[in-house]
Structure 1
Amino acid sequence: MSCASALALAMVVSGHAQAQTEIDVAMIGEPDTFDPMVSTKDVVSIVTQHFVETLFTFDDNWATVPLLAAAMPDVSDDGLTYVIPIREGVTFHDGSTMDSADVVGSLERWLKVASRGKSVAAYVDSVEATGDYEVTIKLNQPYAPLLSLLAFSNSAAVVYPEEILADHIDNVVGTGPYEIADYVPDQYIQLVRFDGYTQPTGAAERKQIPDEIRFVPVADPNTRVEGLLSGQFDFADSLPTESYGRLESSDVAEPLLLEPFGWPVFAMNRNKGMMTNIEIRKAVQAALPFDDMLYAAFGDEKFYQVDGAMYPEGWVWNNDGGVELYNQNDIEAAAEHLEKAGYDGTPLRILTSRQYEFHYQMALVAKAALEAAGFKVQMDVVDWATLAERRNNPDLWDIYITHSPFLPEPALISSFSAKALEGWDEPVKNEIFARFNTETDPEARKAAFKELQTELYEDVGFIKVGNFNSLQGKSRALEGVSASPWPKFWNASTSE
């Protein structure tokens, strides 16, 4: 081989070795904000976890571990004081260095603007910098779920430079392994590796393998499937269950089944309108045929379980409180509740979206059952971004359909909070929930949660439809990504 040919070959080999690695991810929609402190939406969490970080996070077993914290906190014997060491040498994407002032300012903002932060605020006396790299949180009574709330990635207690802190942040500056390079609305969000990233000491390594991660909003679920099967996408979220067989038999893609994933929920507007009447709520609860709704949504029992407990069997929080009121499927009882309520024929407005197709299919079955019981039902079918906007206005809906993963700490279920969008502000529930959150004995907390689940059914705070398994899909060449409610791509690689 001539020297020129050898040089050319070496250049080709070198070019392949240095080729840019891009991971393309199909999502159900795009975030309406890049500030996860003010949002509980999964699409926000999935994207933003790559460029903003919290003091703590969860490991693969849902244990809380340090992320921006240097270690787990030193907690006083009375449970009222948390001294948190902060990692040194952490750089924000604007080049500034994180210190305790940034953490204090960010936590104070979280307590003020985040739905989960607001639920904690009444228990917090102060957040203070007690050193350049130490923060102390003082409580007025014990609050067992504090660390779980500080670790969660939606309505998240992320840390920003104190200079950008405001009620509304337009340009988010984080510490994460990736940063935003480009954003074209309705087309893509492009993240690139942040070269100044320093690895956490407690959380698993964030290897920053891809050069780029591109999130693409694809509203139609079948288009997400076809894009995955064609090789256009490396990963696709929230796929219809009927695509499982095609993915399983494909040479290009494969299914990822997250089992059990979570629970669909009919969220009820307790702030305004007909759902403030308990007899109306009981009529809805009595009428809904959950087995039929789950079958319509998922088709195969591989993907769902008819189960009224808030947590599945095998979870520490599983109990049978109130479940005798689950899946009544009793049209006559529903009609009796409507008569007691003095129902006047006002349309029951159900807000849903087809971007999560299973939401829509459940709504169709629910509509038929509710109409059989005597309701007039108005289905408002919108895109997910519009739904997320409308649910903030209690004048626009009576029920909206959403879902939640099974979370390690029940206090993370935002619907239990009186400050959540639904507005379930009821004295009996509030007392039980407060007692659950301030109790530190594990057995006493389990007993309190059973009371809370019982009150959920008796007061019809919201309606759990059942359990379901989530179908995602990935390229067979993609490695380093597993099924997750909030899939992460910093360790992703392709074998091609």
Structure 2
Amino acid sequence: MKNCLSLVLAAALASAALPATANEVINVAIIGEPDTLDPMVSTKDVVSIVTQHVVETLYTFDSSWAVAPLLAEDLPTIADDGKTYDIKLREGISFSDGSAMDSADVVASLQRWLKVASRGKVVADKVKSVTAKGMYEIEIKMSSPYAPLLSLLAFSNSAAAIYPEEILPQGDGQIAEVVGTGPYKYGEHVPDQYLQLVRFDGFVPRDEPANGGSGKRGQVPDEIRFVPVPDPNTRVEGLLSGQFDFADSLPAESYDRVASSDKAKPVLLEPFGWPIWAINHKAGLLSNQKIRQALLTALPFDDMLFAAFGNDKFFKVDGAMYPQGWAWNTDAGTELYDQNDPDNAGELLEEAGYDGTPLRILTSRQYEFHYKMAEVAKQALEAAGFKVQMDVVDWATLGQRRDDPSLWDIYISHSPFLPEPALTDMWFASSRVGWSEPEKDKLADAFVSETDPEKRKAIFAELQKKNYEDVGFIKVGNFNALLGEAKSLEGVDPSPWPYFWNAAKK
């Protein structure tokens, strides 16, 4: 599979030539190679960071996380019953292959998104139809109101990306050559060295002032180079030496070094998000609820977070899915968080008839804090009676293995705090973790169907409570993310998915 992906990447990049001159090159260190250039089929941040410069969606988020139009002309007209969305498209938009965007491209792209994207699958059974109403207008009909729809259409992760209809494969196939409407297109790709983006001369920006990801997207750098650097300490050294203008996901212990540098400065996203232990409900050991409860009972979240970040400046032991100050914050069910009770966990294992089958934890060292959390957890779980098998792989391999339920019991990931809880697809049975429980499924359906904000908050509190009771997935705590940028770099807004179309060096 890895060879196939390399061929797809090579094909996607082969036709793009290097620019004759490169007056301004922005070098960005990322945690590894994107394993696809098609953001529709990936939830990985490393894919979103790169592809958002090339491929666009109908909507996006502004700096306050409100939904704003991107390829759509404006926000949609929604029928009084909440079931019909009329969306007018911008005219005069071209793809980087020279073709013009129209409603046929948008309809075909959204229909593919509903079939192949993890977030598209979440809403697919509620979409009755996606149809064209002319060359520059589409209509989405729902079987019932669906409050998070615009947020799903705006997200660059498992994105409802808009492609030319002609390049879309049949069924679940991969796109041979990824093209989009964004300010950049793919240039040269040297595997394990860099992926080059160059300006798309036919790009048509919006007229509104830039506001987060919305408004006018620039083409300030001649070239953006994304450099895969799997080792976090190498990312730090490259930033400090001036090799990189920006570096993603730096270890917390490097903060003081970066802050005292004459060439670089730290960028702290606070609060950023939460580490996740994703649980396999489809097959294997954790399809047993008692064993899941034993897992939650045994985990020492305080120790895990301290091992991962080393300083409480970078973490908080907090079981609420959203931190204080967010509309979704609730303490429902959090009495089951951070029990750190190996004896009780052992009793639950005995009740479950645990036979010593290894608990397989799939993780990577490219996000070093994932691995450090797993190392501490392993000791606590073994003390409770689990046999633990650590499968440590590179991030691209983890992304492939997690799609096969026979290969893991837990995979470790993380997420920023997202403006809409439904953007976390693990709440839904259609996600790769496959968490399905009758009461939870009813709550999830009620949550996305309800349009009253206060009622949605109450339902979300019940969802959080159910997550702790049934152990759908596990939040480890809150953490702040450390990134770094050159002191000479301007025009990069702090973001979980940094973008560089307005970046410039002084």
TM-score (norm 1): 0.95
Give the aligned partner of residue 21 of structure 1: 24
1:14 aligns with: none
Match of 2:388 in 1: 377
Contact kept, 8 Å, 1:66 with 1:200, in 2: the verdict is no
Aligned to 1:363: 374
Name the aligned partner's letter for residue 27 of structure 1.
I
Between the aligned partners of 1:378 and 1:410, the Cα distance in structure 2 is 31
Match of 1:276 among 259, 274, 287: 287
Letter in 2 for 1:64: V
**8 Å Cα contact 1:116-1:155 kept in structure 2:** yes
Tell me the residue number matched to 1:87: 90
How far 1:200 moved relative to its partner? 2.1
Q: What residue is the counterpart of 1:3 in the other structure?
A: none
Residues in 1 aligned to 2:105 and 2:435: alpha-carbon distance in whole angstroms: 33
Task: For residue 204 of structure 1, report the CA deviation from its aligned partner.
Answer: 2.2
Q: Conserved in 1, the CA contact under 8 Å of 2:22 and 2:222?
A: no
Q: Residue 400 of structure 1 is aligned with which of 411, 432, 439? A: 411
One-letter amino acid of the counterpart of residue 144, structure 1:
A
Whichever residue aligns with residue 257 of structure 1, its letter is L
- Would the aligned equivalents of 1:436 and 1:445 in 2 still touch at CA under 8 Å? yes
Structure 2 match to 1:12:
none
- Residue in structure 2 matching 1:172, options 178, 196, 200: 178
What is the CA-CA distance between 1:131 and the residue it aligns to?
Answer: 1.2
SS at structure 2 position matched to 1:474: strand
Identical aligned residues as a percent: 68
Structure 1 range deviating more: 183-192 or 469-478: 183-192
Cα distance per residue 1:270-312 (max 9 Å; x no partner): 0101100011000000000100100000011110000000000
Q: Distance in 2 between matches of 1:56 and 1:416?
A: 23
CA distance in 1, matches of 2:22, 2:114: 44
- For residues 235-246 of structure 1, what are the structure 2 equivalents within 5 Å? 235-246=246-257
Select the residue among 189, 193, 197 that pairs with 1:183. 189
2:406 counterpart SS class: coil
Segments of 4+ in structure 1 off by > 4 A?
A: none
Deviations 1:369-388 (A, max 9, x none): 00000011111111111111
Give the letter for the 1:169 counterpart. I
- Are 1:26 and 1:224, in contact at CA under 8 Å, matched by a contact in 2? yes
Shift of 1:184: 1.6
Q: For 2:207 and 2:130, locate their aligned partners in 1 and report how far apart those are by CA, in whole Å.
A: 23
SS, match of residue 301 in structure 1: coil
Aligned to 1:211: 222
1:112 and 2:109 correspond: no
**Map of 2:64 onto structure 1:** 61
Letter in 1 for 2:90: R
Gaps of 5+ in 2: 1-20, 209-213
1:492 positional shift? 0.1
Q: Deviations over 1:185-215 (max 9, x none)?
A: 2111000011111012562211110000000
How much has 1:48 moved relative to structure 2?
0.2
The question of whether the paired residues in 1 share the 8 Å contact of 2:22 and 2:223 is answered with no
Question: Structure 2 CA distance, aligned partners of 1:170 and 1:307?
Answer: 44
> 1 CA distance for matches of 2:205 and 2:80?
31
Q: What RMSD over aligned residues (CA atoms) do the two structures have, in Å?
A: 0.9
Q: Is the 8 A contact 1:67 1:201 kept in 2?
A: no
2:418 is the alignment partner of 1:412: no
**Which residue does 2:500 correspond to in 1?**
489
Q: CA deviation at 1:165?
A: 1.0
Counterpart CA distance in 1 for 2:300 and 2:132 is 53
Q: Is 2:438 aligned against 1:438?
A: no
- Alignment: residue pair count: 478
Cα deviation for residue 93 of structure 1 reads 0.3
Partner residue in 2 for 1:457: 468
Give the structure 1 partner of residue 40 of structure 2: 37
Q: Which has the larger radius of gyration?
A: 1
Q: Is the 8 A contact 1:472 1:483 kept in 2?
A: no
1:331 aligns with 2:334: no
C-alpha distance in 1 between matches for 2:125 and 2:357: 38
Do 1:66 and 1:201's aligned partners in 2 also have CA atoms closer than 8 Å? no
Aligned-pair distance for 1:51? 0.2
CA contact under 8 A between 2:196 and 2:223: conserved in structure 1? yes
Instruction: Specify the SS of the correspondent of 2:253.
Output: helix
Which amino acid is 1:329 matched to?
N
CA distance in 1, matches of 2:166, 2:204: 21
- Which letter maps to 1:199? P
Tell me, yes or no, if structure 1 residue 466 matches structure 2 residue 472.
Answer: no
Distance 1:340 1:223, change over 3 A: same
User: Residues 104-253 of structure 1: matches in 2 within 5 Å?
Assistant: 104-166=107-169, 167-201=173-207, 203-253=214-264
1:321–1:451 Cα contact (<8 Å) kept: yes
Contact kept in structure 1, 2:221 and 2:502, CA below 8 Å:
yes
User: Distance between the aligned counterparts of 2:129 and 2:411, measured in 1?
Assistant: 36
Residue 313 of structure 2 aligns to a residue whose secondary structure is: helix
Match of 1:11 in 2: none
**CA contact under 8 A between 1:256 and 1:482: conserved in structure 2?**
no
Deviations 1:389-444 (A, max 9, x none): 11111111111111011000000001112111111022111110000000001111
Residue 46 of structure 2 aligns to which amino acid in structure 1? V
Write the deviation string for residues 150-196 of structure 1: whole angstroms up to 9, x where unpaired.
00001100100011111320211100000001112211100001111
Report the Cα distance in structure 2 between the residues aligned to 1:474 and 1:286, rounded to whole angstroms: 40
> How far does residue 461 in structure 1 lie from its aligned partner after superposition?
0.2
Q: CA deviation at 1:483?
A: 2.3
Aligned equivalents of 1:305, 1:158: Cα separation in 2: 35
Contact 2:284 2:409 in 1 (8 A): yes
Work out the CA distance in 2 between the residues paired with 1:458 and 1:293.
21
Aligned partner letter, 1:198: V
Q: Secondary structure of the equivalent of 2:465?
A: helix
For 1:440 and 1:395, locate their aligned partners in 2 and report how far apart those are by CA, in whole Å: 38
- Whichever residue aligns with residue 39 of structure 2, its letter is P
Q: Work out the CA distance in 2 between the residues paired with 1:131 and 1:184.
A: 42
Alignment of 1:279-298 (within 5 A): 279-298=290-309
Distance 2:283 2:124 in 1: 25
Equivalence for 2:17? none
